[in-house]
Structure formats: structure tokens, C-alpha cells
Amino acid sequence: DAMVIQNPRYQVTQFGKPVTLSCSQTLNHNVMYWYQQKSSQAPKLLFHYYDKDFNNEADTPDNFQSRRPNTSFCFLDIRSPGLGDAAMYLCATSSGTYEQYFGPGTRLTVT
């Protein structure tokens, strides 16, 4: 089945220790997104790639970076995680239409 895969599902990191979250897709979609969702809040878009073109949201902190080495993979790097970065991180893909397909998410805990 074509899908969006996120690894790991649960990630624990220490305050200030860099962490990388991974997303892969078998849908061959050209757009990939990263969302942050804190408890009981709306998922918030951090950035997205349209092919290799990176699009950062204006209010995404510099602490958050992303890489997309190829069509299938996209990474979210948090350079110096703070306690406020604990959240669910959702990866999504689309073929350029309005419909997006989501992975199961990675729950990040910062200790």
C-alpha cells in the first residue's frame, strides 16, 4: 500500500540535544509538509517542499530546519530542542492538489 511513514513514532531527547525526525513516502508526491501539533491545538505548518523548493512559514523558529535529499524522504532537524518543542510532529504529502496525506506522527518528548 502506498503510504507515508514516520520514524521513530516516539522520540525522547534532552534539552539542547539536536534531534532528527524522519519521513518517507511511497506515493511519489512532489510536495512534502511538516506540521507541529501541541496538545489540544490545531496542527501548525512549519514548512513544506515543492519538489526541491523549500518554503518556510514566516513564524517558524530558526531552531527548526528541514532537508529533502530526494522525492521519497524528508527530515526535520531541531537544532537545540527546548521544553516548548515537545509536540506531535506530522509529515504529510500531496500531489499538488488540496488533499494531503498524513503519516502517523512522531511524538517528541524533551527532558
Partner 1 sequence: DQQVKQNSPSLSVQEGRISILNCDYTNSMFDYFLWYKKYPAEGPTFLISISSIKDKNEDGRFTVFLNKSAKHLSLHIVPSQPGDSAVYFCAATPQGAQKLVFGQGTRLTINP
Query: Given the rule CB under 8 A, which residues bind partner 1?
Result: 4, 6, 9, 31, 33, 35, 40-45, 48, 50, 55, 90, 92, 94, 96, 98-105
Nearer to partner 1, 78 or 100 (CB): 100
Residue whose entry in the numeric block shows the C-alpha cell 524533551? 110
Minimum CB separation of residue 34 from partner 1 in Å reads 11
Nearer to partner 1, 52 or 79 (CB): 52
Beta strands in 14-81 (DSSP E): 19-25, 31-37, 44-50, 53-56, 64-67, 73-78
Minimum CB separation of residue 99 from partner 1 in Å reads 5
Minimum CB separation of residue 98 from partner 1 in Å reads 4
Nearer to partner 1, 19 or 32 (CB): 32
Alpha-carbon distance 56 to 29, whole Å?
A: 19
32 DSSP 8-state letter: E
Alpha-carbon distance 49 to 47, whole Å?
A: 7
